Every structure is written in structure tokens, then in C-alpha cells.
Amino acid sequence: MNHNHEEGHDCGMHHDHKEMNHKECCHHDHDQKMEQCDMHMDESAHKHDEKGSCCHHDGAEMHGHDHMHHDMNHEHMDHSMHMNHGGMDMGHDMSHMNHGGMDHCGMDMGHDMGHMHHMGNLKLKFWISLILTIPIIVMSPMMGMKMPFQVTFPGSDFVVLILGTILFIYGGYPFFTSCIGEVKSKKPGMMSLITMGISVAYVYSVYAVIANDILKATPMVNDFFWELSTLIVIMLLGHWIEMNSVMSAGSAVNKLAALLPDNAHLVSEDGNVTDVSVNELSENQTILIKSGEKIPADGTIIDGTTSVNESLITGESRDVNKQVDDQVIGGSINGSGTIKVKITGTGESGYLSKVMKMVSDAQASKSQAEDLANKVAGYLFYAALIVAVIAFVAWSIIHNVAYAIPITVSVLIIACPHALGLAIPLIISRLTAIAATHGLLIRNKTSLEGIKKVKYALMDKTGTLTQGDFKVNAFDSLDNDVEKNDVLQIAATLEANSSHPLAEGIIKAFDELNMEKLSAENIDEISGAGIKGEINGNKYAVVSSAYLTKNNIAFDTTQTDQYLTQGNSLSYVINNDNVIGFIAEGDSIKPGAKDMIEYLNSQNITPVMLTGDNQKAAEKVASLLGITEVNAELVPEDKQALVSKYQETGSVMFIGDGVNDAPSLTKADLGIAIGSGTDVAIDSADVVLVNSNPADVIDLIKLAKQARTKMIQNLWWGAGYNIIALPLAAGLLSSIGIIIGPMLGAVIMSLSTVIVAINAMTLRIK
């Protein structure tokens, strides 16, 4: 069954909204085979693939489509996407993209993980390094302390040297390469600190073997192979835990490119139609788009009428009626009509290209965020270096260089405690495990670390705060000779074969009455107005107010006005040009949405609605939820611009689920995607609400705040003791007999590692 709608207008539909103009539109078939959106969530996530079942009737989710692109020249986007957005080749498969620090698997792991894309297979590196470490531990003392299990034999020092060298090169390689990146960016952090620690330990240990076993020096020089091997293994373990704890992510830009089909029907000048690759299309060519096909390029309709499902692009649940001279967007889905489109351009001017560029630019910008551990490691790197240099110079002057070197080495090695490598990963592992049990998938832990700074929560409406589908809120008779239930029965009979969401709502409401179904004859569509047919010899129709106005059919609106002001869409049932009843339907607020808004307000986080819907419909939903700031009739670039605007005065959280939300999700300090949303939105977000329940944001904020507190505590246990340990290791109080030697340093390291592990396990939602 075909229904019609055009954004911002009544569209002549048989479903009406008070604020709409009266404009005749073409038909649409809402059943647009939404399976093209290839969700990677579970089957339930498909319920409403792109903002749910897209209502496209009067008053239902109108998002300013005309404002979005009727004033724009949408040129065709080359399907090969060989645009250079921030130095990235946007090839169609996009399999090798590296968005500002993401590894080649597309994982966004925060700043430190951004530098870890050279690590390769962390799991394999860890296990091989562990195998090499075991004999080193058995044959090498821990900071000079001989352990009960230690085994030595003639030449064992050289065996340790060989194993230590292999481990240093193989296990340490990823830290070296990442350290180079940190140094080049002039931001030494965790990788630099680890590299400094293992390099000093290795070089000094090689010197110790030469001095002890070749030069026979006395007293013997302590080596640090034990510290070298355990440090490498623990750091690899920490990063493996962290990477394994977050969801592997695809590329949001990759998903955007996939919205376009591979081929197009090219119409030659003589009228012949040939299938060609989309990347062969060029400006001013004509293409044929059949019913149900994806539109391969931006362009202008030159022949035919149809309706276009643009929810993949706009995010709002509605179809848009199209006729000659109307524009279409590449990536949207054609309805029941066959149309010919003249391509208006190629390359970066296409709508999807612009969204892709916004997403990739935001990714590149956001990847510069530095996490807590990396900041602490950076401070510790400089502190250790400064203290070590001062200690070396001072003790060289007081005693000699030979006396100063062991002290300097101790300072540099103690500065890189093993606990620091596990302090954050253990929290992340615990965080993601707890989050998963509460329907939360954590994709970027760095964004969560700034949760206490969030001042604004910007959010989409349809599919985020509302269900995105429609149900009958009221129906009644306007004729004394017609029973109330008869109105619904007549409408359901005429709409029996329709897949439109409003029609489905009518049918569902009728089924709940358990009434006998009638049979209808001569069912036919009223072009741009509704549907008509004969039931028991009587002529009935289900139409919109536009039809009533056009045909001068008057009725008493006293009873219907209240439902219009509540934001409902109205369908009118008529018999021989007499209005005998009406049906009011509305999109419902999601369970949990109001709880989320109330919690945000209690946390001094200002909720702000950003939607493509019309202002009055948006304000109605906002008033029901307690949202005071509303921005309506927006397009993706508007949303992203507002995110940037709010970021000028505070950190921003963004909650959304459509392709049009992807740039905003990426740009925001914390992006939260609804699980039933699009692949593109999900891949742009830092957190995914698997159950699509807005109330889960409450658990997310509580958990994130607790996790951040635990992170800070662990960083103090893992690195904070250096405030005391470094000066003492440097010999600041040696004159009164107080000094932290290697053995005491080893004990402190072990204790801090145990403490951070226990502290991580106490994380829970409070």
C-alpha cells in the first residue's frame, strides 16, 4: 500500500497534522527492505533498522528535509571514494584506513593504544615473551635478592643474557616503535617510560654480565634481567587485557561508503540502459533507479514519481515523496516508483561525502585525547629523567662515576613500576565486564575518563527518546449513526495490506478489539491523499486533512483539536464525503527516557534535544520529558556544529542512532549510540546501549564515575609512591642512612601491583 508524505507539508495524506501545509504529494511504499542496513547487533536490533519503522505521514517525524538539501547542490559521490580526508585514502573497501591513531583493525583505543598499532599480535607476543621470561626469572636475582627457587650454573649468566636480548628485541619492539611516535609528537608518555626503563635495565645488565663474568669485577655488579623481563611481560599483558576488554570496532566511514550500491543503471542518449560501476558515473549523466534500489548518486529527478526512504541518511523515521525536479541523495532507498535521475555532481560535494569528511575529521581530532595513565606516565618520565640526571651529577662529584651509575640506574628502573602497566587495564577489564552485564558495550575508555567534566547531554529524538513507531492513542466516531469501534474496523479493513507504520498501528489496535474482519472491494489509492474502497456496498475512504480541505469537506474539529495539539497524526474515515470518525496515532516516549533526563538534571548535566523533526513536535516531546533546550529541523552538519558550540563552554555527551548522528557522536567528548541504530552510528560511538534503553545511560555514568575514581586510586598506587621513592632512591637522605635500594624498590613494586589488582576488583555500580 502506498502512502505519501513530504517534509514540512501535509502532503495530502490521509494522516494529518495540524501544523502542516496542504500540498499534494506522490506515493510511497514504506516497506523499503531495510535489511540493506547490515547491522552487526543481534536480531532484535533489526526491529527498526534506521530509526525504526519510518512513519512518513502528516505530523509524524518531520525533520526539515526541505531545509536539508533542497537548497544544496548534491553532486554525485564517486563510489571509489578516493578523497583525501586528512591524508586518508577513502577507497570503497576502506580496509586499510587509520583514523588518527586507530590500528588497522579499526580499533579506537585511546591515545596510548593509538601508538600501539605496531604491536601486531599482542597475544602471541605476550605468550612468547612469557616463555622467555620464565627461565630468566629462575636464573636471575630480583634486584640483587637471591630467591629460594633460583638456579645457577656455569654459564647461566650468558644464557640469561641471550634470552634477555631476544626478549628485549622481540618483546620490546612495539614499545620502541611507539616511543618514537611519542618523541616525534613531543609528548613522551607510557611508551617512552617503558622504553626508558627496559633500555636502561638491558644496557646495565649487559654491562653487569661483562663486568662479572669476563672482567671478574669486585664487588659484583647486580644485573636487572629479572626486572627487564617481568616489566616487558606485564606491560604486554596490560595492553592485551585492555585491547581484549573493548569491543573491536569497524570503521564508521567504511559503513558510510557501504551505503552506496556497487552498480548503477546508466541511461544513454539513445535511451539504452547499461549497468556500470558507480565509480564510472559522472556529472550530467542520467541514471535509472528501480523500485526498492539504493540511489547511487546525488541528483535531480527528471522523470517519474516515487517516495524515498532517507532514514539511512537523515535518521528520521519518514519517507519523502519525490517528483520531477526534486533532489535525491545517494545512499537513500527508492520506494515503489521507477525514476530517472540526472547526476548533479561527483566527488566530495555529494551528501555522503560531506558526512564522511565530518566523521573522519572528528575522528582525527578526537584521537588526540590523552588518557590518565598516559598523562601520569609522561610526568613520571620527566620526573625520573630529571632526578636521575641530578643524582648522577651529584654523586659523580661527591664520589665518582662508578658510584653514581648504580644509583642512577635504580632511579630510572624504580620509576617504571610494574603496577603502572596494570593499573588502568585491570580497571578497564572490570569496567567492560560489568558494563556488558548492564547492556553497555565500551568501545573507547579514554572518553569515559572525562565523565565528571560532562556539562551537556545532547541527544537525538526519534529512536533515542522515542520509539520510532506509532500506535493508536485514540479513535472515535463523529457520526451518531456510527459506533466508535466501527470507525477502527472500517479503517483496518481498507488498510489491511498496507505496511506503512500508521496503517500497521491501526491494524494492531483493531486486532486488540477481537472484532470480526470485514471484506473490502475495489480498494484503490487516492493519489497523494489516502485510500478508498467499498465495504458492504458502501464507499469509504481513509484520508488526511489535505483531502478534506481540497474537496471542501467540513466537520466539527472540536473533538480532534486536542489530539493534534498533543502531537498526534490524525486519519479521517469518510463515507460519501461525510467525516464519520477519526484515528489519532503518535510516537511513544521510550521507557526509561524520562528517568534518564531526570538523572542528568540531578547530576547538573543539561539535556539538550537536537532533532531533524519540526519545532512543535520536538517541543512537545521535550515538554513531556522535562527538556528545556530544543534545537529542531537540523541536518547533520547543524548537529555537529552545535556539539562544537556547546564544547566551547563544557564537555559534551551526545546520544544518537542515525547516520546523521555519526559526525556528532564522533565529535562529542563522549558519544553514546543506541543499539538498534545504524552501523554507522554504532561505529562512531564510544559506548553502545545494546538494549536501546535510554535509562542505561544512568548506569553508564555511575559506572564511569566509579571507574575514574578507581583509575586515579590505582595510578597513585602504581606511580604515586615515586614522589617519595625517587628522591630516596637518588640518595637524598643517604646522609642519615635512609635510602631505597633495588631490593626495597622490588618489594614496593610487588606490593603496589597486588594493591592495584585488588582495588580494580572492587569496582561496581553505586
pLDDT tier at 40 (50, 70, 90 boundaries)? very low
C-alpha cell at position 758: 585488588
**Highest mean pLDDT range out of 12-21, 304-313, 432-441, 532-541?**
532-541
Q: What is the pLDDT of residue 263?
A: 86
C-alpha cell at position 540: 469509504
pLDDT in tens, 319-356: 677 889 888 888 788 877 889 999 886 655 566 676 66
pLDDT tier at 431 (50, 70, 90 boundaries)? confident
The label of the residue with cell 669476563 reads 214
pLDDT in tens, 352-387: 676 666 566 555 554 444 577 788 888 888 988 999
pLDDT tier at 8 (50, 70, 90 boundaries)? very low
Catalytic site residue 460? Answer: yes
Query: What phi and psi values does residue 74 have, to the nearest 5 degrees?
Result: -85, 100
pTM, full prediction = 0.58
Residues 6+ apart with CB under 8 A from 545: 10, 16, 20, 22, 58, 570, 572
Which 3 state secondary structure label does DSSP give 421? helix
pLDDT tier at 523 (50, 70, 90 boundaries)? confident
Which 3 state secondary structure label does DSSP give 658? coil
Rounded-to-integer distance, Cα 41 and Cα 54, Å: 20
What average pLDDT score do residues 288-292 get?
88
Instruction: State the chain's mean pLDDT as an integer.
Output: 75
DSSP-derived letter for residue 250 is -
Q: Are 5 and 11 in contact (CB under 8 A)?
A: yes
What average pLDDT score do residues 292-318 get?
76
C-alpha cell at position 623: 515538554
- b/e map of 510-538 (b: 16 or more CB within 10 Å)? beeeeeeeeebeebebbebbbbbbebeee
Q: What is the pLDDT of residue 134?
A: 94
Which 3 state secondary structure label does DSSP give 467? strand
What average pLDDT score do residues 447-451 get?
85
Which 3 state secondary structure label does DSSP give 592? coil
Residue 615 has pLDDT above 70, yes or no: yes
- Bridge partners (DSSP) of residue 655 are 459, 672
Taking the CB of residue 561, how many other CB atoms lie within 10 A of it? 12
Rounded-to-integer distance, Cα 510 and Cα 502, Å: 12
Residue 395 has pLDDT above 80, yes or no: yes
Query: Percentage of the chain surpassing pLDDT 70?
Result: 71
Q: What is the pLDDT of residue 445?
A: 76
The label of the residue with cell 506503512 reads 500
Strand pairing report for 670-674 and 687-689:
parallel
Taking the CB of residue 498, how many other CB atoms lie within 10 A of it? 23
Task: Write out 669-699 in H/E/C secondary structure.
Answer: CEEEEECCCCHHHHHHCCEEECCCCCCHHHH
Going by C-alpha positions, the residue among 466, 213, 159, 135 that lies closest to residue 315 is 466
Catalytic residue among 460, 587, 638, 669: 460
What does R_g of the chain's alpha carbons equal in angstroms? 33
